[in-house]
Structure 1
Amino acid sequence: MDQHLMTLLPHDDGPWLASELDIRGISKDARRRLLTTGAILRARKGVFVRPSDTRQRSAAERADVRLAAHVRLTQGKLNPAYLYSHTSAARLHGLVFLRDSALIHVSCHSKPCAQRLGTGVRAHFIPVPEHDRLMLHGVPVTSLERTVIDCARILPVEDALVLADQALVLGADRRVMFERLKGMVGYRGVINARQVVELADPRSESVAESRARLLFHQENIPAPVPQWKVMTHLGQRYLDFAWPEEMVAAEFDGMVKYFGDKPTDRALYEERLRERHLMELGWRFVRLTWSDLENPFEVRRRIKAALRPHTASRGGPNRLSPLSEW
């Protein structure tokens, strides 16, 4: 391996344009040698990365690299023939996916040749009005509202709802989305898109909570209130989902809650302490995990059982509370 060429490479992992490597003294022939030895990889025509940037990353991170490589050839161009849309626009807006895909989506003003777009790119030839276009860090993308609609037209409802919830948190306007949908009657997937926009809720704080909300809806479980605020003697506490009249809460136990910044034992202790204070106020809990969402029937059974009238046994001041029975 040519160590001199290795020292000329940028210190970051890329992606780098061929022109940027030329400036650093890495000519076309030199790039060919580096490619042959595996010192660099071609992310797409004219764009290169370090091998570690693709082989040691998750599927989502690899998809980020592929899109970043494609964007490098678009960034700064005046009046490009396309703009990034659908899931690619969602990625550029910073949205997190339930299921990831490395496919790049663009919406074209006209039909550019496939060679110019590159491999792994899907072109959509549908009109994107000026008010649905914007420049994001110098990259042409669809607006948040249009991005949600486009994603909801091609993705399963569950995947699209995860994105729509996040978009509302970032400032997407639901009224604008409904207005856009009025002008898309007859478009493929527009019925799904309308359902996603109707169900979207910015109060969901994670992908799991978005999935759970959809499950409740599909299983005809009475709609809970997300992020219900409860005052305890230690201050305000929030419940992931609450049915306040029944004093029932559904809480999602995710890995981040117990394996985030805090030590696991500390996180578990604080979570159980929080739950105890809420139980002392009469709240009853149904705890859900990611795997539970794969068994909707069982989730429905557990929650509907908890929502049934809870009768305390009689016997004066020492009778069992609903909490004790739970």
Structure 2
Amino acid sequence: MKIADARSRVIRRSEVIAGGATERQLRTLVDRGELTRVRSGFYARASHLSGLHVEERHLLDVVAADAARRGGDVVFSSISAAVAHGLPLFGIRPDRVHVAGPRTDAVARPRAGLAHHAVQLSDGDKVVLDGLPCTSLARTVFDLARTVPRGTAVAAADAALRAVAWHAGDRVYDEYAAEAFRSGLLDRLAKAAGSRGVRQARFIVAFADGRAQLPGESISRLHLHDLGFAPPRLQVPFRGPRGEDWAVDFGLDDADAWGEFDGKGKYTDPAFLRGRTPEQAVLEEKYREDWIRGTSNRRFARWGIAHVGSAADLARRLAAFHISPPS
């Protein structure tokens, strides 16, 4: 969801009243579930909330908080800046909007669902995204890497590197751009030595790889690392028998195997299906897998979100395909 789309779904209380509703009628709409309170004075239609991902729902919170601002020099930060930048929030559900800056009186009702981080930010750490003041992409990843759970941080850092370095049209990963972004983060961490979360952040920044396409692929990489696999090759290119350009998510070279993470929308998302039926998509995936397995003479394992709850979960799934890290 874009920031502008999120704004279009948030309704001010004054707009509801101006539309002819009384205070009592407004309360009735909320009680009936037709309107949902986003924050004090701001609502959204229940139909506009149905099916939203965690990130999209939090973006509504962020744009509502922005609409309630009374000026000042705070910006949205941490997980709230992450959703504005389009980064995933794997494994967490925000309960507050995060803002950062030296002042505490810049946002209306600062105790109503806000987490204020009293820090000084340089001009280079601030950006405006479609009118929304946020920490920069680099500063946001720096903050997340130090403060959120490891899996959440890896997924966000991978997505940030992907935004910086992955060219979807020709499926090229710009190593130079990725390493420049990584180097800037490492410089920040060097200056923050001894601060809370820096040890984890160093691992996250070194481990991040923008070739991971989905949060499930990012957490899979983390589990493979914890299980003792060598770093897998990502998005390994394959040429099909009719000249198809294919890619396999994971090249598990030390186990002589391939791995594929199937996201929830792989056989249901219209953007992925591109006019095909789910049945056609399944058959094409089977055709692709059979060809790759047969021509490479390697085992081929598939797993999904149900198999990445922990490293042990993924280990059990891989064991079903007789795949394990070398002893």
Describe the shift of the 1:298–1:83 C-alpha distance in structure 2 as closer, same or farther (beyond 3 A): closer
CA distance in 2, matches of 1:295, 1:270: 30
Aligned twin of 2:201: 193
The AA in structure 2 aligned to 1:283 is R
> What is the DSSP-based 3-state SS (H/G/I as helix, E as strand, rest coil) of the residue aligned with 1:105?
strand
Aligned twin of 1:257: 266
- C-alpha contact 1:231 1:237 (8 A) present in aligned 2: yes
> What is the DSSP-based 3-state SS (H/G/I as helix, E as strand, rest coil) of the residue aligned with 2:100?
strand
Aligned twin of 2:232: 224
> What is the DSSP-based 3-state SS (H/G/I as helix, E as strand, rest coil) of the residue aligned with 2:265?
helix
- Offset at residue 33 of structure 1 (A): 3.5
CA distance in 1, matches of 2:312, 2:42: 49
The AA in structure 2 aligned to 1:242 is G
CA distance in 1, matches of 2:288, 2:46: 46
Aligned twin of 1:81: 73
Aligned twin of 1:312: none
Give the TM-score of the pair, scaled to structure 1.
0.78
- C-alpha contact 2:227 2:325 (8 A) present in aligned 1: no
- Offset at residue 57 of structure 1 (A): 4.7
**Relative contact order (alpha carbons < 8 A, sep ≥ 6): 1 or 2 greater?**
2
Describe the shift of the 1:25–1:276 C-alpha distance in structure 2 as closer, same or farther (beyond 3 A): closer
- C-alpha contact 2:220 2:308 (8 A) present in aligned 1: yes
Aligned twin of 2:110: 117
- C-alpha contact 1:217 1:223 (8 A) present in aligned 2: yes
> What is the DSSP-based 3-state SS (H/G/I as helix, E as strand, rest coil) of the residue aligned with 2:94?
coil
- Offset at residue 69 of structure 1 (A): 1.1
- Offset at residue 294 of structure 1 (A): 3.1
List per-residue Cα deviations over 1:194-241 (Å, max 9, x = no partner): 211111100001111101100011111111101111223222321110
> Aligned pair 1:291/2:306, yes or no?
yes
Choose which of 270, 273, 289 in structure 2 pairs with 1:275.
Answer: 289
Query: Which is higher, the Rg of structure 1 or of structure 2?
Result: 1
> What is the DSSP-based 3-state SS (H/G/I as helix, E as strand, rest coil) of the residue aligned with 1:257?
coil
- Offset at residue 58 of structure 1 (A): 4.2
- C-alpha contact 1:248 1:307 (8 A) present in aligned 2: no
- Offset at residue 295 of structure 1 (A): 5.1
> Aligned pair 1:136/2:136, yes or no?
no
Number of residues of Structure 1 aligned to a counterpart in Structure 2: 290
- Offset at residue 18 of structure 1 (A): 5.2
CA distance in 1, matches of 2:313, 2:36: 48
Give the TM-score of the pair, scaled to structure 2.
0.78
> Aligned pair 1:103/2:96, yes or no?
yes
Superposition CA RMSD, Å: 2.9
Describe the shift of the 1:144–1:251 C-alpha distance in structure 2 as closer, same or farther (beyond 3 A): same
- C-alpha contact 1:15 1:49 (8 A) present in aligned 2: yes
Aligned twin of 1:202: 210
Aligned twin of 1:49: 44
- Offset at residue 192 of structure 1 (A): 1.4
The AA in structure 2 aligned to 1:252 is F
The AA in structure 2 aligned to 1:93 is H
* 5+ residue gaps, structure 1: 1-11, 310-326
CA distance in 1, matches of 2:108, 2:241: 65
